[in-house]
A and B are shown apart, each in its own frame.
Chain A
Amino acid sequence: MTYIPISPSEREAMLKTIGVKKIEDLFDSIPSGHRFPQLDLPAALTEIEAAGELEELALGNETVRELISFLGAGAYNHYTPSVVDHILRRGEFYTAYTPYQPEVSQGTLQTIFEYQSLVANLTGMEVSNASHYDGATAVAETVNMAYAQFRGKRTKVVLSPTVHPQYRQTLRTYVQGMSLELAGDDPNADLDTGPERLEALIDENTALVIVQYPDFFGRIYDYTRLIEAAHARGTLVCVAVNPTALALFRAPGQMGADIVVGEGQPLGIPLSFGGPYLGFFATRKQYIHKMAGRVVGETVDSRGQRAYVLTLTAREQHIKRERATSNICTNQGLIALAAAIYLSVLGQTGLRQVAELCYHKAHYAAAELSKIPGFGLCFAEPYFHEFALCCPRPVEEINAHLLEHSILGGYDLGQDYPSLKDHMLIAVTEMNTKQEIDMLVEVLKEASYE
């Protein structure tokens, strides 16, 4: 079926008005040899048939609802309050376009302004943009921003190897062809040392240092000293954060960070097999002209009412064309709205509760798991809701065993870090009950003796 509301007699009348006999006559400018190809696609389905087919496909997945999940590594299973999706499903929000006409877009504009405010407050920064595609692309855009800040005169970026592996890969894709030196991103580095190791790599040519908080292994470091060391050389520092952790731990803004980015998925966004998610991006006011992405600002309208508009558009691609600092043209509008609703309805109390639940459950799981012979915690530093667990046999084998018991095991760290062969990254959130954690421990005990 189609969604075309034109009746046959209307179509006839319209063709007559245009002055052509049949609809095919509108396509004379198409090369005749390639006009009207017969597409080899399945015949159209009605809604009832399509719903059946999609439901069937969806049943082909086993999800974190059927399985007990301890998988995180950048995408987390959190509880989303009902109210979030009820508001998202208002057609006024999801079927609107980019708010280029502010007189009839104040709904979108004010929600983005509130989203920017929530991000600034959570990260401890002064300004935020209206969002990027995801955490990985937000990290990659920080390099463009730092490069522009130093007008291309500083050509070195220090990248911690404990930033999410896929973020580092994305960054490498973005900077190919730029003559940039990436230092520090060595998966064979000693992962047991903290941020001090990066300090030694910062020099007068370093534009940017990128670290993660908590890092990929869940560890929490105070980056204040590293940031001071970077600033002493005029270098900017970007901290990629997990927003849930910021309900509990010091905001990077308080440590002096220049840019704070991160993946907003934990803020009420469904796992949805990896997207769409939300890249948030906050910085200090002095760098705003170099920041990519849309920004909403407060103003007044002709009637003296407080209102909001897209501002600083002169930085953007449709004005600056090839001289724009980024080609980004959308933001994650609806996903940013979801995060804003989530943060509004949880507030400081609810978000802190979620963070504490994650923390306590992860620490309980870590304590119980490390009692099993052959298993142990890999690192001694404080951590949030994720930790690296060393295992007595290959992670793939252990995960296959767990899956037989309907448990989705942790991320295999050996894929990205040769020194962490037989280590898995376990994530625990408010969704995991004590009973589930105990079951994980029981099943792993079996694995340990088999």
Chain B
Amino acid sequence: MSDQDRKRTPEMPAPKVVEPTIFDLSAPGRTGVTFPPPDVPTAPLPEALLRADLPLPELAEVDVVRHYMRLSKFNYSIDGGFYPLGSCTMKYNPKINEDMARLPGFAHAHPLQPFETVQGSLALMYQLQEWLKEIAGFAAVTLQPAAGAHGELTGVLIMRAYHGSRGDTKRVKMLIPDSAHGTNPASSGVVGLEILQIPSDERGNVDLPALKAACDDTVVGLMLTNPNTLGLFDENVEEVIKIVHDCGGLVYGDGANLNALLGIVRPGDLGIDVMHFNLHKTFATPHGGGGPGSGPVGVAEHLVDFLPTPLIGVVEEGEGEMPPLFGYFTPAKTIGRLKAFHGHFGMLVRAYTYIAMHGPDGLRAIAENAVLNANYLQTLLRDTYHVPYERICMHEFVAEGRIEGSDVRALDIAKRLMDYDFHPPTNYFPLIVHEALMIEPTETENKGTLDAFAEALIQIAAEARDQPELLHEAPHTTPFGRMDEVKAARELVLCCWLPEDYKEKG
């Protein structure tokens, strides 16, 4: 039962339960997976420290399987259909990657084993560091950060440590374009930096005069998302970077949109000083319903010493048939450790497999086809939905979810798409486009899927004019309708419990 059930008065009707919780399904004395009695003499338990009651549910294995099976059917997924969420890179997650991460040699390695016993893991990590360096043009890479935002935090700490190590302590400002991801200001904010927002110009690029005016000797650096959240590659990127460097600042690259750049351009070659990768976007490790992600960080030569500890390196060069011996290294001026152990190793195995199977040409094909698909969709939709920037886009584009002569909003369009069995695009982001619909098809969709999606959106635009209520009330065909989000935030029912009379039921 939930707190809500406890508070409910007889006048308040109970909502219809589509799938009970595991607490609802529990019955006293029922057991699932059990364990054998001890094969050693038992020791006395310290009575005063023991717990009287362990209020966890009691279910049989079959109850658990059917419960989660029923729940899984309520989810939309990449395996189930087209998922064009802008800036999320919801591409197909190859099945082989799942099998490789579960190889017993990887799955059962303890992170604190002597390094001589885990040479397989270390060789994989070392190689992945090398590959990511090459792909993005950096001098060194750490695999430790757990997610994109964690990589940002790492990068910002590195930037500040770099200035600090030079005695340059008056730098307290981070410049962030208004077309950046929302995590950028948060990552700078949590370490206590001031944020200065830089506007975009009429072509969606960073506004150069505004940038110049903001650059002085108090600037830590600029956090640049490129391609930005409009899906546009900054046409003046080299100048943007030069302006920041000229005032002594560093440039952080938000690598969330790297899928558009594989084999097309290396951010390090453009002068980006530090960048995070999102392995769960660009390199197809699964999103898992919200995580785990993985956010390695690459840096240019002058920032290598500040990377988190440990890095994987060669302890002893190989000779002939003998492979090199790999081990751990601590960079000279390290910012420290970002989490326990070595990063999301299981995700690293998946990304390694993915890169190995693509090679240089395959990676370039990913970017080319991701950009092809986005431009194709943009062309099909442009006459129906206003696209505020008349340019070739990169891997995604932003359209306005407004229809002339209708009161429907981007939200209604998004919800109505579910009735056509598509996942909606990202909406209301970026903030600089009204009623934004941010569409990223990725490279793993064929023309037929894109045609069907465009057709659905065009039909929805017609519906918006003729039958707007159809959109206001959408979705109609999904197992659940629109949510009362105000009620959720007001009542804050965040947990459920076994019923108060639970034991009596037994």
Task: Pull 12 A–B residue pairs with CB atoms less than 8 Å apart, ordered by A.
Answer: A2-B362, A23-B371, A58-B103, A105-B74, A105-B75, A107-B71, A137-B150, A275-B346, A276-B291, A306-B18, A321-B186, A348-B57
Cα(A63)–Cα(B103), bound, Å: 11
Q: Are B99 and A51 in contact (CB under 8 A)?
A: yes
Nearest CB to that of A137 among chain B residues? B339
Residue interface mask A243-282, B partner, CB < 8 A = 1: 0001111110010000000010000001111111100000
Known pairs A63-B108, A334-B286; A305 contacts B488 (CB<8 A): no
B320: Cβ under 8 A from any A Cβ: no
Which of chain B's residues have a CB closer than 8 A to the CB of A51?
96, 99-100
How many Å from the CB of A280 to the closest CB on chain B?
13
Which of chain B's residues have a CB closer than 8 A to the CB of A71?
110, 112-113
A249 touches which of B51, B119, B135, B445 (Cβ 8 Å): B51
Cα(A164)–Cα(B112), bound, Å: 13
Which of chain A's residues have a CB closer than 8 A to the CB of B131?
41
A4 touches which of B352, B365, B482, B498 (Cβ 8 Å): B365
Nearest CB to that of B63 among chain A residues? A344
Q: Are A104 and B418 in contact (CB under 8 A)?
A: yes
How many Å from the CB of A273 to the closest CB on chain B?
4
B487: Cβ under 8 A from any A Cβ: yes
Q: Are A321 and B286 in contact (CB under 8 A)?
A: no
Q: Are A44 and B357 in contact (CB under 8 A)?
A: yes
A128: Cβ under 8 A from any B Cβ: yes
Residue interface mask B176-220, A partner, CB < 8 A = 1: 000000110111111110010000000000000000000000000
Which of chain A's residues have a CB closer than 8 A to the CB of B183?
317-318, 327, 329
Known pairs A74-B340, A96-B289, A298-B2; A2 contacts B365 (CB<8 A): yes
How many Å from the CB of A60 to the closest CB on chain B?
3
How many Å from the CB of A370 to the closest CB on chain B?
13
A69: Cβ under 8 A from any B Cβ: yes
Nearest CB to that of B489 among chain A residues? A311
A347 touches which of B59, B110, B157, B479 (Cβ 8 Å): B59
Q: Are A89 and B290 in contact (CB under 8 A)?
A: no
Q: Are A10 and B447 in contact (CB under 8 A)?
A: yes
Of A118-126, A183-191, A230-238, the stretch lying at the interface with chain B is A118-126
Q: Give residues 94-147 of A contacting B (CB, 8 Å).
A: 94-108, 110-114, 116-118, 120-122, 126-128, 130-131, 133-137, 144
Of A77-85, A153-161, A192-200, A201-209, the stretch lying at the interface with chain B is A77-85
Q: Are B345 and A274 in contact (CB under 8 A)?
A: yes
Q: Are A101 and B418 in contact (CB under 8 A)?
A: yes
Q: Give residues 351-373 of B contacting A (CB, 8 Å).
A: 352-353, 355-366, 368-369, 371-373
Q: Are A96 and B75 in contact (CB under 8 A)?
A: yes
Q: Give residues 3-57 of A contacting B (CB, 8 Å).
A: 3-7, 10-11, 13-15, 17-20, 23, 26-31, 34-47, 50-51, 53-55, 57
B410: Cβ under 8 A from any A Cβ: no
Q: Are B480 and A303 in contact (CB under 8 A)?
A: yes
Q: Are B61 and A364 in contact (CB under 8 A)?
A: no
Which of chain A's residues have a CB closer than 8 A to the CB of B112?
71, 73-75, 411
How many Å from the CB of A342 to the closest CB on chain B?
9
Interface residues on A, range: 35 or more
Which of chain A's residues have a CB closer than 8 A to the CB of B147?
133, 328-330
Cα(A188)–Cα(B359), bound, Å: 51
Q: Are B54 and A348 in contact (CB under 8 A)?
A: yes
Q: Are B358 and A318 in contact (CB under 8 A)?
A: no
Q: Are A57 and B124 in contact (CB under 8 A)?
A: yes
Cα(A306)–Cα(B491), bound, Å: 14
Which of chain B's residues have a CB closer than 8 A to the CB of A434?
39-40
Which of chain B's residues have a CB closer than 8 A to the CB of A99?
289-290
Cα(A176)–Cα(B284), bound, Å: 33
Q: Are A37 and B265 in contact (CB under 8 A)?
A: yes
Nearest CB to that of B426 among chain A residues? A100
Which of chain B's residues have a CB closer than 8 A to the CB of A367?
43
Q: Are A430 and B341 in contact (CB under 8 A)?
A: no
Cα(A360)–Cα(B42), bound, Å: 5
Q: Give residues 455-506 of B contacting A (CB, 8 Å).
A: 473, 475, 478-485, 487-489, 491-498
Q: Are A248 and B119 in contact (CB under 8 A)?
A: no
Q: Are B22 and A344 in contact (CB under 8 A)?
A: yes
B447 touches which of A13, A144, A363 (Cβ 8 Å): A13
Nearest CB to that of A106 among chain B residues? B74
Q: Are B108 and A5 in contact (CB under 8 A)?
A: no
How many Å from the CB of A164 to the closest CB on chain B?
7
Q: Are A275 and B134 in contact (CB under 8 A)?
A: no
Cα(A300)–Cα(B30), bound, Å: 30
Which of chain A's residues have a CB closer than 8 A to the CB of B314?
none
Q: What 14 new A-B contacts, CB under 8 Å, besides A166-B341, A321-B189, A361-B40?
A: A58-B105, A92-B73, A93-B288, A98-B290, A105-B289, A108-B289, A222-B48, A274-B341, A298-B496, A301-B483, A317-B149, A321-B186, A332-B288, A337-B288
Main SS of the interface on chain B?
Answer: loop
Q: Are A106 and B22 in contact (CB under 8 A)?
A: no
Of B244-252, B296-304, B375-383, B400-408, the stretch lying at the interface with chain A is B375-383
A301 touches which of B2, B114, B358, B482 (Cβ 8 Å): B482
Which of chain B's residues have a CB closer than 8 A to the CB of A276?
146, 291-292, 294, 344-347
Cα(A65)–Cα(B110), bound, Å: 10
Cα(A97)–Cα(B69), bound, Å: 18
Cα(A133)–Cα(B329), bound, Å: 23
Cα(A345)–Cα(B35), bound, Å: 12
B392: Cβ under 8 A from any A Cβ: yes
Known pairs A273-B111, A349-B34; A96 contacts B49 (CB<8 A): no
Which of chain A's residues have a CB closer than 8 A to the CB of B496?
113-114, 117, 298
Q: Are B68 and A87 in contact (CB under 8 A)?
A: yes
Q: Are B186 and A94 in contact (CB under 8 A)?
A: no
How many Å from the CB of B185 to the closest CB on chain A?
4
Which of chain A's residues have a CB closer than 8 A to the CB of B376?
14, 17-18
Q: Are B494 and A127 in contact (CB under 8 A)?
A: yes
How many Å from the CB of A441 to the closest CB on chain B?
12
Cα(A337)–Cα(B22), bound, Å: 13
Nearest CB to that of B287 among chain A residues? A97
How many Å from the CB of B318 to the closest CB on chain A?
13
Q: Are A408 and B30 in contact (CB under 8 A)?
A: no
Cα(A104)–Cα(B81), bound, Å: 12
B79 touches which of A87, A95, A248, A323 (Cβ 8 Å): A95
Cα(A13)–Cα(B203), bound, Å: 28
Q: Give residues 378-392 of A contacting B (CB, 8 Å).
A: 382
Q: Are B286 and A95 in contact (CB under 8 A)?
A: yes
Nearest CB to that of A173 among chain B residues? B336
B366 touches which of A4, A164, A305, A308 (Cβ 8 Å): A4
Known pairs A17-B380, A61-B120, A133-B339; A333 contacts B447 (CB<8 A): no
Which of chain A's residues have a CB closer than 8 A to the CB of B23?
114, 117
Which of chain A's residues have a CB closer than 8 A to the CB of B189?
321-324, 327
B396: Cβ under 8 A from any A Cβ: no
Cα(A434)–Cα(B42), bound, Å: 12
Nearest CB to that of B191 among chain A residues? A177
Which of chain A's residues have a CB closer than 8 A to the CB of B42?
360
Q: Are B21 and A41 in contact (CB under 8 A)?
A: no
Residue interface mask A273-293, B partner, CB < 8 A = 1: 111110000000100100000
Q: Are A59 and B120 in contact (CB under 8 A)?
A: yes
B375 touches which of A18, A38, A62, A220 (Cβ 8 Å): A18
Cα(A274)–Cα(B346), bound, Å: 9
Q: Are B346 and A272 in contact (CB under 8 A)?
A: yes
A298 touches which of B118, B335, B475, B493 (Cβ 8 Å): B493
A86: Cβ under 8 A from any B Cβ: yes
Which of chain A's residues have a CB closer than 8 A to the CB of B497?
117, 121
A440: Cβ under 8 A from any B Cβ: no
How many Å from the CB of A442 to the closest CB on chain B?
15
How many Å from the CB of A86 to the closest CB on chain B?
7
B343: Cβ under 8 A from any A Cβ: yes
B167: Cβ under 8 A from any A Cβ: no
User: Which 6 residue pairs are nearest across A and B when measured between Cβ atoms?
Assistant: A60-B120, A274-B341, A58-B105, A91-B79, A274-B111, A334-B288
